[in-house]
Amino acid sequence: MSRVLRLLSILLLAGAGAARAQQPALARALDLERQGNFAAAAEAFRSVLAVHAGDPAALLGLERALVPLNRTGELLAPARAAIAAGAPPAVGYAVLIRVWSAIGPADSLRGAVDRWAALAPGDEAPYREWVGASIGRGDRAAAQAAIAVARRRLGRADALAPEAAQTAVADGSWTLGTTEWLAAIRQMSGFRFAALAMLSPAPERVRPDILRQLEQDGAGEGRRLAGTLVARWGDPVGGFRLIASSLPAENGDAIERLNQFLEALQLSPAAAATAARQARGMALEAIAVRTSAGAATRARMLAAQAYADAGDTESARRMLDGAGPGREDGAPASAVGTAVSVLLGEGRADEAERRLQAARATLPPEEYAVLARRVAWGWARRGELARARSLLAADSTVEGLAVAGRVALLGGDIRGATERLRAAGPYTGTREEAAARAALLALLQRIEADSAPAIGAAFLALEKGDSAAAVTAFVGAADKLPPEKGGAELRLLAGRIELARGRFPDAERLFKAADLEQAPATAPAAELELGRLLVSLGRRDEAVATLEHMILTYSTSALVPQARRALDEARGAVPRT
């Protein structure tokens, strides 16, 4: 049954069927159909038709019951009786066409189409049903012949364009299908979504031809469709540019098209990709210049968020400047967060705090607290620890304690940092943040001093991105501590920083310096890091010896499974990860 007739069936059941809801026979037939008892349902529908031969709901119900039973031929007599009794042609003749399409012969099918067409001159419906029935049984040649007859009789080259497009694409005629879809879209813009769905799977070899056809469309619909297809095919920025090149002059229409592009991006499998986020920012920016002041500010803030997510901080900053300072009111919390994040990324904690305070009245308290913690950490990373502590003073949440602990550490307050991090617990933030916090807490608990300004300065240098200064400070602090009281752990941390910098000899030296019997809690990690480094340098024999020693010496360590994996890599038993 065609989609149009299925819809008609539903409407009839909801309309005419509802009007007869009191008829026990029809109600019983519908119940049997819902239960899947098609044989009994067929007999019940027949009983209704015996009294009301032209009842559309009963005839369509009988068809639904007989088709699964492979008894389609039994519909001939009821369909003819329904037509004679005055059933709507879109029901009686439609059923008759589907029956003849299923059981033949072809001249009977053609006769049913002709009789319906005579009752509705100029109407596509008889031919559409003929095409749909042909497609339903997989006979595309018959469907194409039916389309040709319809166009000749109706005198319209674009008659049944959607059906012609589907048939062409199914035959692999992508360029013909594209032409037909354009014709269908000109008739009804809603076909754009069907065209997009059917053209999206086009093989790469024909995509340039499809795009050329679409871009040559003078009405702009082709470029609009081409833009969305290009986005789906992996170039969302290029897709946006195509759409932007054909936007209508009227702002309302242009904004509608841009919003539809945004919806298509959101539904794309690559919606989270950097290019898709960049295209989202570009579309939101285009909306901002075409809308009123309040809505423009919101669009700019959302564009800034999209640009920031794409890593385009320059465009994000441009959107924030366009929105104007203090214009976050009315923007969603995520957009305010973007403004704060972009400013903090530029080291402008003062402006980030001003923006946050300007939007405070419109933010939910929990969202404000999240952003306040970000700003506090921004101040801390600049070394403005007092400003950071003032923002966190009223925050007694575990998240606030976690940030306060890190701020205390930057000031060298080992005892305060330990107490706050311990109070925050292991479940705050992401898994990565919780793991990093647990490792930091383990380090601090080994240090017996309440205060260690040198260690705080080392961590502050690391937060500022000065890795060289951080390594120097960590090693200097380690030299003043016993290995088991934090000295070995600080050297291990310094080695990991050097490894990340690509300074492999220094990393190797520091890992070996951290591998001491006096620090049994640190030594397994140091040997594992050293073994992995040796594998990466191609020094496999040394790596095997180091890792075997680690596994045998520290057999109860939680790191042994990782060491076994690294050992297998060193021996060439498994590929490197």
How does pLDDT run across 23-39, given as a tens digit for each residue? 789 999 999 999 999 99
pLDDT given for residue 20 in this prediction: 45
Burial class of residue 19 in the structure, from the number of CB atoms within 10 Å of its CB (0-12 exposed, 13-18 middle, 19+ buried): exposed
pLDDT given for residue 334 in this prediction: 61
Return the H-helix or E-strand segment holding 91: helix 89-103
Separation between Cα atoms, residue 571 and residue 88, nearest integer Å? 79
Q: Is 198 helix (H, G, I), strand (E, B) or coil?
A: helix
CA 336, 337, 338, 341 dihedral sign is positive
CA 279 → CA 10, 204, 249, 434, distances in Å?
41, 22, 21, 34
pLDDT given for residue 335 in this prediction: 66
> How confident is the model over 395-454, as pLDDT tens digits?
889 999 999 999 999 999 999 999 999 998 877 777 888 888 888 898 999 998 999 999
Nearest to 224 by CA among 208, 240, 237, 235: 240
Full DSSP string of 5-74: HHHHHHHHHHTHHHHTTT-HHHHHHHHHHHTT-HHHHHHHHHHHHHH-TT-HHHHHHHHHHHGGGT-GGG
The answer to whether 426 and 438 have CB atoms below 8 angstroms apart is yes
The answer to whether 24 and 32 have CB atoms below 8 angstroms apart is no
pLDDT given for residue 535 in this prediction: 92
Counting Cα atoms < 13 Å in the Cβ hemisphere of 511 gives 22
Single-letter amino acid, residue 416 = G
> What phi and psi values does residue 413 have, to the nearest 5 degrees?
-85, 85
Q: Tens-of-pLDDT digits for all 577 residues of the chain?
A: 444 444 444 434 444 444 444 478 999 999 999 999 999 999 999 999 999 999 999 999 999 999 999 999 999 999 999 999 999 999 999 999 999 999 988 899 999 999 999 999 999 999 999 999 998 888 889 999 999 999 999 999 999 999 999 999 999 999 999 999 999 998 898 898 899 999 999 999 999 999 999 988 866 788 889 999 999 898 999 999 999 988 888 998 899 989 989 988 887 777 778 999 999 999 999 999 998 877 888 888 889 888 988 888 889 888 887 765 544 444 556 667 777 888 887 788 888 898 888 888 888 888 889 999 999 999 999 999 999 999 999 888 999 999 999 999 999 999 999 999 999 887 777 788 888 888 889 899 999 899 999 999 999 999 988 999 999 999 999 999 999 999 999 999 999 999 999 999 999 999 999 999 999 999 999 999 999 999 999 999 999 999 999 999 999 999 999 999 999 999 887 676 5
In 10 A of CB 222, how many CB atoms? 24
